[in-house]
Amino acid sequence: MVELELYKAMVRARAFELVLAEFWEAGAISGEMHLGTGEEAVAAGVTRHLRSGDAVSLDHRPTPVLTLLGVDLQLMLAEMLGREDGLCRGRGGHMHLFSKTHLAASSGIVGSSGPLAAGFALTAKLLRPGNIAVAFFGEGAMNQGMLMESMNLAVAWKLPLLFVCKDNQWAITTRSVDVTAGSLLERAAGFGLPCQEVDGLDVMAVAETAGDVIGQMRKNPQPFFLLARTSRLDSHQMGDPMRRMAQHPVGEGGKTFGNVTKHLLAPRGSGPVTRIKSLMHLLALLGDSRKDVREHKTDPLFLTRQQLEQAGQDTESIEQDVARQMEQLVDSVQVDSPAGGAHGKHDL
């Protein structure tokens, strides 16, 4: 049953994200960690229709798609632990994951998945007719010139390139609507791209739309723009300062807002109305950021589970299966002799 398979894919993707979260919290994964929690329905719905020879370019939340493309989870986890036996020998890290066998590449430069996928699509068109390329990116990336240019390129060159915009309405602490002109669908349509909007929290809807579109693209190479509304269930990144401030207004917030209060009243500067407006804006953002949590109505996993349960399906055995796999995964990296010395072994 398609629904159950999609659900299983989403559960797997989520579970791996949560494993990463744990290792990150424990300090075993360094740097930033942008989880893809909230994007699982998009990842599952699109990757379901990909096949060998298709290529994928990813942004700073690459792991759900890589997980569902079948990249070895142990290799990926070992990579993020900085180990020689990792996917990229510990050289890449979580924003720079590459799997040549899956033709999947990621990058931390916002917007860069567009041009890369254009190149992948060109190769597909010339060397592997019937194959396609997919670019995943956020709505914030839609303001990056290189991404818009690659839309033009894809249309002008008739490239089999599926642009998948994951619209979670945020770019770090910015509400994207505040810095984005016009509508994203109309923008893409302005390039002559066929477009469609889909509820990115509804895995069946994503899968159906992606299936239709990708089927057409294989027969008749041309680009397509898919706008999927998603959510950001763990804020921009793990340990996100804005979220910490929102959750601990006195401790964390006090540090930042102490300085703000001081300058709210300082002589010279804008008038009181402008200052109050700025302050209200900041407080509103903090308030909004409190919604970046795994709450049910924006959680694709929860929504799908609810549907399946209502249809009398057994979701629990899927969850247990996946949980077992993840336990084995965690054990496997902890038992293995770590190549990364002190950075290889961790107690969770």
Partner 1 sequence: MANMTFSAAIDRAVMEAMAADECVIIMGEDVHMLRSAHYTRFGQQRVFPAPISESSFVGAAVGAAMSGLRPIVEVMLVDFVGVAMDAVLNHMAKIETFSGGKWTCPLVVRTACGGGYGDGGQHEQTLWGMFASIPGLTIVVPSNPADAYGLMKTAIAHDGPVIFLEHKLLSESWLEFLGRLGRQTVAFDVPAAGAQGDVPANMDSLPFGQAIVRRTGNALTIVSLGVGLHRALEAADQLAEHGVDCEVIDLRCLQPLDARTVIESVSKTGRLLVVDEDYKSCGLSGELAAIVLESGLSPHYARVCLEQTIPYARHLEAEALPNTQRIVEAALRLAAGEKQRDV
Ligand X SMILES: Cc1ncc(C[n+]2csc(CCOP(=O)(O)OP(=O)(O)O)c2C)c(N)n1
Give how many residues touch partner 1 by CB under 8 A: 69
3-state secondary structure of 315: coil
Helices (H), 48-112: 63-69, 73-80
Q: Which 6-25 residues touch ligand X, going by CB under 6 A?
A: none
Rounded CA separation 191/188 (Å): 5
Q: Smallest distance from the beta carbon of 188 to partner 1, in angstroms?
A: 16
* 340 scored as a contact of partner 1 (CB under 8 A): yes
Nearer to partner 1, 180 or 196 (CB): 180
The residues of the shown chain that bind Mg ion, judged by CB under 5 A, are: 138-140, 168, 170
Rounded CA separation 166/65 (Å): 12
Q: Smallest distance from the beta carbon of 137 to partner 1, in angstroms?
A: 10
* 298 scored as a contact of ligand X (CB under 6 A): no
Q: Which among 51-59, 101-109, 116-124, 292-300 is the span making contact with partner 1, rule CB under 8 A? A: 101-109
Task: Choose which of 48, 61, 83, 243 interacts with ligand X (CB under 6 A).
Answer: 61
User: DSSP state, 78?
Assistant: H
Nearer to partner 1, 54 or 79 (CB): 79
Q: Smallest distance from the beta carbon of 87 to ligand X, in angstroms?
A: 21
Specify the residue for token string 């510990």: 90
* 75 scored as a contact of partner 1 (CB under 8 A): no
Specify the residue for token string 């599952």: 44
* 219 scored as a contact of partner 1 (CB under 8 A): no
User: DSSP state, 248?
Assistant: -
Q: Which 119-178 residues touch ligand X, going by CB under 6 A?
A: 137-141, 168, 170-172
Rounded CA separation 205/208 (Å): 5
Taking the CA of residue 163 as centre, how many other CA atoms within 13 Å lie in the half-sphere pointing to its CB? Answer: 37
**Virtual torsion, Cα 91, 171, 208, 3, nearest 10 deg:** 70
DSSP 130-199: T--EEEEEETGGGG-HHHHHHHHHHHHTT--EEEEEEE-SEETTEEGGGG--S-HHHHHHHTT--EEEEE
Which one of ligand X, Mg ion, partner 1, none interacts with residue 297, CB within 5 to 8 A by kind? none
Task: Choose which of 22, 75, 102, 108 interacts with ligand X (CB under 6 A).
Answer: 108
Give how many residues touch ligand X by CB under 6 A: 15
Which one of Mg ion, partner 1, ligand X, none interacts with residue 61, CB within 5 to 8 A by kind? ligand X
Q: Which of 12, 70, 51, 4 lies closest to 203 in space, CA to CA?
A: 4
Site string for partner 1, 276-315 (x = CB under 8 A): -xxx-xx--x------------------------------
Q: Which of 124, 100, 19, 115 lies closest to 59 in space, CA to CA?
A: 115
Rounded CA separation 134/209 (Å): 14
Q: Smallest distance from the beta carbon of 98 to ligand X, in angstroms?
A: 17
Q: Which 226-255 residues touch ligand X, going by CB under 6 A?
A: 236
Q: Which residue is nearest to ligand X (CB)?
A: 138
Sign of the CA dihedral with 53 first, then 122, 188, and 170 last: positive
Rounded CA separation 155/317 (Å): 45
* 260 scored as a contact of partner 1 (CB under 8 A): yes
Nearer to partner 1, 27 or 312 (CB): 27
Residues near partner 1 (CB under 8 A): 25-28, 30-33, 79, 82-83, 88, 90-96, 107-111, 140-141, 143-146, 171-174, 176, 178-180, 237-242, 244, 252, 256-257, 259-260, 262-264, 266, 268-270, 274-275, 277-279, 281-282, 285, 340-343
